[in-house]
Amino acid sequence: MTLLTALDQEHADPAITVDGATVHLSELRTRADRLGGELIGTDAVAIPGAPTLDTVIAVVAAIRAGVAAVPVPIDAGPVERGHILRDSGATLLIGDPDWPEVDLPRVRPTADRGAQAGSSLPGTITDDATALIMYTSGTTGLPKGVVIPRRAVAAGLDGLADAWGWTPDDHLVHGLPLFHVHGLVLGVLGALRVGCRLTHTGRPFPDRYAAADGSMYFGVPTVWHRVVSSPDDAAALSGARLLVSGSAPLSVPVFDDIRSLTGHEPIERYGMTETMITLSTRHDGERRPGWVGVPIAGVETRLRADDGADVPHDGETIGGLQVRGTTLFDEYLNRPDATAEAMTDDGWFVTGDAVVIDPGGFHRIVGRTSIDIIKSGGYKVGAGEIETALLAHPAVDECAVVGVPDDDLGERIVAYVVGAPVDPTELIDLVAGSLSVHKRPREIRRVEELPRNAMGKIQKHALRG
């Protein structure tokens, strides 16, 4: 399979820019293939996920050589990094990072290899070959290696190209990490499959987004919050075609601010490392704050209750989301137990996310079933709707709602709030007045910031302690 199809097309040669360094597709192909020739015979290569052109060259080289690329988070500590390198089976490290504990042969992507260095690249690579081994966030233990085949990457990107009207005429702009699905697969491999211009801004700063003059912008909610906090920079995005948010829920107030400042309703989408992106609102369809749309082409979803029963699509009843289709991963590397646990007997992947689906098929992510569904006083409560209610208060900039053990209620609803000082009773009454009384927080804890990972996802496990 030719995964990065634009690299083998001669009719266009768009620019690829990463933090100010620019190449055109033809040069990227040449440099990647020269490196790729040295990777033949290697099963997996580790690549530091720094936001640099070297990272892009290294990943492209591995994919075109038919070698599994293992992106390593640049903020990983030595324990996590060591686990990833050992577990992945990587036998070569591309680049020369300051990782003294790593004893692997190293090759520099910028080395001069001569014109024929890539001549031994394979002519064909099967669809089932592994493209990437990406590691989950590891919130409940050491990260698991997700084995992603080339067919899943291709299916996911083609489904998004359809959903978003993504064409070679687009100019994609983002500044997201190059060791996650959002920044690397969608934000780099997507551009190289579609064949559009790409500008990676190095960091996702609002002024850099504003200066890039793109037609499509990718961001996580933290990025969009910062963009709307800089109205002039936000207004500069009004000429874009699509503004896409993902990796965490986008709050309704930020959705509304994006719309008022840019004239665009943002696209919201949902996915996981194990599934690629499976749900999205469409470029030619409805965009509803707090909802992530419908399955992309090749994907099916269903909802199941705790006892395995079907959950009605009434827009209210919460169920566990299950997914099947062309975008799924192959397995958790070296973890057959975890792979088996994640799949149903009839072949559906259990996402662990709590979801409601309305009669028209629109999906709303309530949260993780393990932490965002709070069982309090005999009621099942979604943390997300409480967070949305709290964010309607002008003093609340950010918030996170969790359930903590309680002898009387089972779990007590606690809200962590970032923003200006406000009487906790006022916030509790706000929730009780806009939702059901039993959904009110029993405690408000004001904090300076919320714990987040590199993609901006709030780490609620750290709040629960």
Structural domains of the chain sorted by starting position, each given as residue range(s) with its CATH number in brackets:
5-188 (3.40.50.12780), 373-464 (3.30.300.30)
Percent of the chain with pLDDT over 70: 95
Phi, psi at 398, each rounded to 5°: -145, 160
What is the rounded distance in angstroms from the CA atom of residue 234 to the CA atom of residue 419? 22
Per residue in 271-324, pLDDT (tens digit) is: 999 999 999 999 999 999 989 999 999 999 999 998 899 999 999 998 999 999
In degrees and rounded to multiples of 5, residue 397 shows phi and psi of: -85, -45
Task: Answer yes or no: are the C-beta atoms of 49 and 74 closer than 8 Å.
Answer: yes
For residues 267 and 257, give the distance between their C-alpha atoms in angstroms, rounded to a whole number: 14
Specify the pLDDT at position 124: 84
Q: For residue 354, give the H/E element and its range.
A: strand 349-357
Measured between alpha carbons, how far is 414 from 236 in angstroms, rounded to an integer? 38
In terms of Cα–Cα distance, which of 98, 277, 290, 322 is closest to 180?
Answer: 277
pLDDT of the residue at 281:
98
Please give the Cα distance from 275 to 324 (Å, whole number): 8
Instruction: Count Cα neighbours of 244 within 13 Å in the Cβ-side half-sphere.
Output: 33
Which residue from 229, 231, 201 is spatially nearest to 217, judged by alpha carbons? Answer: 201
CA distance 455 to 183: 9
Query: What is d(CA 57, CA 21) in angstroms, rounded to the nearest whole number?
Result: 12
pLDDT, position 139 = 47
Distances (CA, A) of 289 to 255, 363, 399: 6, 11, 17
Please give the Cα distance from 352 to 363 (Å, whole number).
15
Work out the average pLDDT over 440-463: 86
Check pLDDT > 90 for residue 76: no
What pLDDT is attached to residue 465?
A: 63
Show the tokens assigned to 430: 């706000």
Residue 112: pLDDT band by 50, 70, 90 thresholds?
low
Averaged pLDDT, 182-187? 97
Tally of residues, the chain: 465
Are the beta carbons of 49 and 71 closer than 8 angstroms?
yes
The dihedral through the CA atoms of 159, 163, 165, 166 has a sign that is negative
53 falls in which pLDDT band (50, 70, 90)? very high
Question: Would you give the end-to-end CA distance of the chain in angstroms?
Answer: 46
- Token pair belonging to 313: 């699509």
Task: Name the pairing type of β-strands 276-280 and 294-295.
Answer: antiparallel
pLDDT of residue 217: 98
Query: For residue 403, how far is the Cα from the chain centroid?
Result: 25
Give the integer Cα–Cα distance in Å for 368 and 383: 9
Q: What angle do the packed helices 252-262 and 221-228 form, to 10 degrees?
A: 50
Cα angle 127, 341, 279 (rounded to 5 degrees) comes to: 55
CA distances in angstroms from 461 to 370, 434, 458, listed in the order given: 10, 27, 9
| Residue 39, token pair as written in the block | 């990777």
Residue 452 pairs with which residues in a beta bridge? Answer: 458
Give residue 137's pLDDT. Answer: 64
Residue closest to 446 by CA, chosen among 385, 393, 400: 400
**What DSSP assignment string belongs to 258-287?**
HHHHHS-PPEEEEEETTTEEEEE--TTS--
Average pLDDT score over the chain = 91
pLDDT at 172 over 90: yes
Q: Which residues contact 46 (CB under 8 A, 6 or more apart)?
A: 70, 72, 84, 85, 88, 90, 92, 93, 94, 104
Comparing C-alpha atoms, which of 61, 283, 247, 329 is closest to residue 159? 283
pLDDT score recorded for residue 367 = 79
Least confident of 70-74, 335-339, 364-368: 364-368
DSSP for 220-235, please give it: -HHHHHHHHTSHHHHH
How far is residue 182's CA from residue 218's CA, in Å, rounded to a whole number?
A: 8
pLDDT at 52 over 50: yes
C-alpha 101/C-alpha 99 separation (Å) is 6
